A and B are shown apart, each in its own frame.
Chain A
Amino acid sequence: MARILMKGNEALGEAAIKAGAKFYFGYPITPQNEVSAYMAERLPEVGGVFLQAESEVSAINMVYGAGGAGARVLITSSSPGISLMQEGISYIAGAEIPAVIVNVMRGGPGLGGIQPGQADYFQATRGGGHGDYFMVVLAPESIQEMVDIMQEAFDIADQYRNPVMILADGMMGQMMEAVDLDNVEKSDRNLPPKTWATTGMAHHQGKNIINSLELDPAKLEKHNLDLKKKYDEMAKNEVKYEMYKCDDADIIAVAYGTTARIVKNTIDMASREGIKMGLIRPISLWPFPQEPFDRTADRAKAYISVEMSMGQMVEDVRLAVNGRKPVHFYGRTGGMIPEPKDILAEIKNILGGVK
Chain B
Amino acid sequence: MAKVIYEKPKGITDAITHYCPGCTHGIIHGLVAESLEELGVLGESIGVAPVGCAVLAYNYFNCDMQEAAHGRAPAVATGIKRVLPDRTVFTYQGDGDLAAIGTAEIVHAAARGENITVIFVNNAIYGMTGGQMAPTTLLGQVTTTTPYGRKPEANGFPIRICEMLSTLEGAAYVARVSVHDINNIRKAKKAIKEAFQTQIDRKGFSIVEVLSTCPTNWGLTPAEAIKWLKNNMIPHYPLATFKSPWGVK
Contacts and interface: CB of A to CB of B under 8 A. Distances in A.
**Do A and B truly interact?**
yes
Interface of A: 23, 25, 49, 51, 53-55, 57-59, 61-71, 73, 87-88, 91, 95, 198-203, 207-213
Given A95-B66, A209-B66, A213-B56, 4 more contacts: A61-B75, A68-B80, A73-B79, A95-B67
A10 to B, nearest CB: 22
B79 A209 contact: no
B163 interface: no
Contacts of A58: 72, 75, 104-105, 108
What 5 pairs between A and B have smallest CB-CB spacing? A65-B79, A202-B43, A66-B79, A61-B75, A62-B79
Nearest to B107: A54
Interface of B: 13, 42-46, 48, 55-56, 58-59, 62-69, 72, 75-84, 87, 104-105, 107-108
A66 B84 CA distance: 9
Contacts of A69: 46, 79-80, 83-84
Contact of A88 (B43, B44, B65, B69): B69
**B62, B63, B84, B87 — which one has the most chain A CB atoms within 10 A of its CB?**
B84
A53 B75 contact: yes
Contacts of A199: 46, 64, 84, 87
B83 A70 contact: yes
16 contacts: A53-B108, A58-B104, A61-B105, A62-B79, A62-B82, A64-B66, A65-B75, A65-B81, A67-B79, A68-B80, A199-B87, A200-B44, A201-B62, A207-B63, A212-B67, A213-B67
Given A207-B64, A209-B67, A200 B84 contact: yes
A68 B72 contact: no
A210 B43 contact: no
Nearest to A208: B64
Contacts of B58: 209, 211
A200 B46 contact: yes
Given A200-B45, A201-B64, A51 B82 contact: yes
A63 B79 contact: yes
Contacts of B48: 65
Contacts of B43: 200-203
Contact of A198 (B46, B72, B105): B46
Nearest to A59: B75
**A67, A70, A200 — which one has the most chain B CB atoms within 10 A of its CB?**
A200
A54 B67 contact: no
A211 B55 CA distance: 10
A203 B79 CA distance: 18
Given A57-B72, A61-B105, A200-B46, A66 B82 contact: yes
A62 B78 contact: yes
B80 A201 contact: no
A23 B76 CA distance: 13
